[in-house]
A and B are shown apart, each in its own frame.
Chain A
Amino acid sequence: MGPPAGPRIDAALLERLYGAARADRWALPRDAFAAAIGASVAHAFEDRSPSSADIDRYTSALHVEDLALACACATGNERAWEEFVALYRPVLHRAAHAIDPTGNADDLADSLYADLYGMGDRQESRRSLFRYFHGRSKLGTWLRAVLSQRHIDRVRATRKLDPLPEDPASIPALTVDRAIDPERARFEAAMQSALTEAIAALPARDRLRLSCYYVQSLTLAAIGRMLKEHEATVSRHLTRTRAAIRDAVWARLRTDHGMDERAIEECFRSVSADAGALDVTGLIGPVAVRKNAELDRSSR
């Protein structure tokens, strides 16, 4: 936990939070707890100057028990560590196995343990990863988020070193011979332009929902959980957004690209039949394959 910084926190409030956090279980020094609360407030309000009411409102929403546990662990309290391991070890390992099913889950979880303990420089002051936990979320949720972050960073770092696939089977076959569609390049450019503009005009939440579904392959339930929507609502929003994109693309092709109805139909047919350079099957994975299967079905 960092030193108290920024806004000054009332001593009575700190005492109340200390009691609510049951920090005396770990015999957590009050100044360490005050430092953790101070760092949390400073992180939340950044360069702003919150009023006492703002601080009171903010701290009342904190998960102070989890924060006290993290703070005690960061200070090296053995009983706190025992409690943490008993409570969160299963959480960590389940999350790691869910995140990385390729066999590296235990490595992922164990590496996090090391950082949580601050193994890096135990000679002087241990720099525990817990100092980044400010109590704004539950400790278990934060641990899953940290694991997710590390996993993604690992994957992204590894992907840069991966060779291109050599398996011909992994290269999607074209369904239409490009040579017989001389208009395709024009259609593709027009469609891509119209589509990009249509998507850019969408509200952020709609774009995020679409990305989660089509790019990240999240299930409706997972999207709903993240966006606090029922999965049926997510489904309805996706349908509505697709309709909005369709109409916007149609309108842009007509107005911006001067296409008549017939040309637009040809454009859609051409691009839908062969995504060609727009095909990101290899990058997206299962989603693309799924949609290819839909394409097969529609052509039946």
Chain B
Amino acid sequence: MSPDDRDPLQNDDRLLRRSLTPTGVAAGPCLDAETLAAWAEGSPGVERTDALERHLASCARCQAMLATFANAELAEGVYAAGAPSSDSQSKVLPFKPAFPRWAPIALGAVAASLVIYAAWPRHARSESQPPQQTMASATPAGQVQYPADVRATDQLSPAVAKTAEMAAARQPQKKAAAKSSRQTPAASTPAPVAPPEPFRAPPVVVPPTGAAIAGVTLPPPPPPVVAPPSAAAKPGELTMLRGANDAARTDASASRIVADFASPTTTTPAAGQSLIGRGAGGGGRGGGAGALIASPRPIARVNWHVLASGQVERSINGGQTWQPVTITPPAIMVNGTAPSSDVCWLIGKGGIVMLSTNGVTFRRVHSPDVADLHSITAIDEFQATVTTIDGRVFTTDDGGDHWK
């Protein structure tokens, strides 16, 4: 056993908790409410702080009162952070996104553009493609043209940069495959008016699973509708509750929420129609957006809450109703991200990482580290990047089996 391994608390802190749990009567008087409040505020009116902390460390009642008070303060801080309040001390947000707020929007827009590009019939695309696209545009080779600010991964946070690098590493393969399988007129060249012809789905890249069916003839689909990310909750983005967005939230659970995120709105083929395979659209290993040739049917965005208690709630009706999510083995969750309506990653204390691939049940995956995790970004069920509380970044591309 190495010195670092000789920690009886390393794998199991029940011993520590038992030794810490106050059992006897603590020395000194218990805290009254005002002393606790003044101490928590750091008021100069509180003297003998050492004695107070000694008492708190050994009195079960006062410790429980402190914990309850701290949770109430935290919940109040989260709720009122953006709203004017009589209590200007309410300012703490437990966890902040470790990446720019626009980054998930940009990535979501790129993914949405790829879905449109892959699903749109060639002739229709040549007719209707706008001369300019703000976030991303398709090039003749099916390559995604990222705007400069999206490609400049060195300007992103470490977590997003790593994720973007992983996605970029896969681009050459997709690019080569797409180039060999189809030719598309240049986006900037005015497209000739194509003669009416039955819609023929573009040949697609055969995914590793070999499940694709190419060249299926179907009527042209209506234009796919991809909902823009809403202001309240961007796809896949972790958003802290702030006053402006939550002014309308009146349910009791709102004040207990520490993380709120939603899956992106996406599309799926209607019943009886076929998914022809995975196009050039991103999404990574097996998890990319499918190239749809059937009428796309919007899938409701799934919203998630991580409550201050560590529990998780899920809504499939835009936040009208929330259902608690059972996590087995139970764990205290602190944050999460949902790259799609079925996939949700959750992180918790002690490096816990949970993954759901059906949006309902979660399984524990390997932890990158025993340190508390701070934030997570994910592209799909395989690729995710977590940041520990002390700023270290770990990435997986195999669904959490391995982290580096």
Query: B-contacting residues of A (Cβ < 8 Å)?
Result: 44, 57-58, 61-62, 87-88, 91, 94-95, 97-99, 101, 105, 132-134, 136-138, 140-142, 144-149, 151-153, 155-156, 191-192, 195-196, 199, 204-205, 207-208, 210-212, 214-223, 225-226, 228, 231-232, 235-236, 242-243, 245-246, 249-250, 261, 264-265, 268, 271-272, 275, 278-281, 283-284, 286-298, 300
Contact = CB atoms under 8 A, between A and B. Distances in A.
A246 B9 contact: yes
A99 B367 CA distance: 31
How many interface residues does chain B have, given as a range?
35 or more
B72 A147 contact: yes
Given A211-B20, A242-B7, A280-B18, A142 B255 contact: no
B272 interface: no
28 contacts: A88-B86, A94-B76, A97-B75, A98-B74, A99-B72, A101-B309, A132-B33, A141-B37, A141-B38, A144-B73, A148-B65, A148-B72, A191-B8, A205-B53, A205-B57, A210-B20, A212-B70, A219-B334, A225-B73, A242-B7, A268-B1, A268-B8, A271-B8, A272-B11, A275-B15, A280-B14, A289-B329, A298-B11
Nearest to B311: A286
Given A145-B36, A148-B36, A287-B17, 5 more contacts: A137-B41, A140-B87, A141-B89, A279-B18, A296-B329
A21 to B, nearest CB: 15
A225 B74 contact: yes
Question: Which 9 pairs, one residue from A and one from B, show the smallest C-beta to C-beta distance?
Answer: A98-B75, A137-B37, A216-B67, A140-B87, A221-B94, A148-B69, A145-B33, A136-B45, A207-B57
B69 to A, nearest CB: 4
Contacts of B258: 219
Contacts of A268: 1, 6-8
B350 A294 contact: yes
Interface string B336-363: 0000000000001111100000000000
A212 B37 CA distance: 17
A286 to B, nearest CB: 5
A138 B41 contact: yes
Contact of B53 (A105, A132, A208, A290): A208
Given A98-B308, A205-B53, A246-B8, A290 B20 contact: no
A145 B54 CA distance: 19
Which of B37, B80, B364 has the most chain A CB atoms inside 10 A of its CB? B37
Contacts of B330: 286, 289-290, 293
Interface string B223-252: 000000000000000000000000000001
A102 to B, nearest CB: 10
Contacts, number: 303
B69 A208 contact: no
B332 A286 contact: yes
Contact of A250 (B6, B14, B74, B77): B6
B332 A290 contact: yes
A298 B255 CA distance: 35
Given A136-B37, A152-B61, A208-B57, A290 B348 contact: yes
Interface string B19-60: 111100000000011111110111111110010011011100
A161 B47 CA distance: 37
B94 to A, nearest CB: 4
A257 to B, nearest CB: 13
B33 A297 contact: no
A212 B90 CA distance: 20
Contacts of A61: 43-45
A233 B10 CA distance: 20
A61 B38 CA distance: 11
A94 B77 CA distance: 10
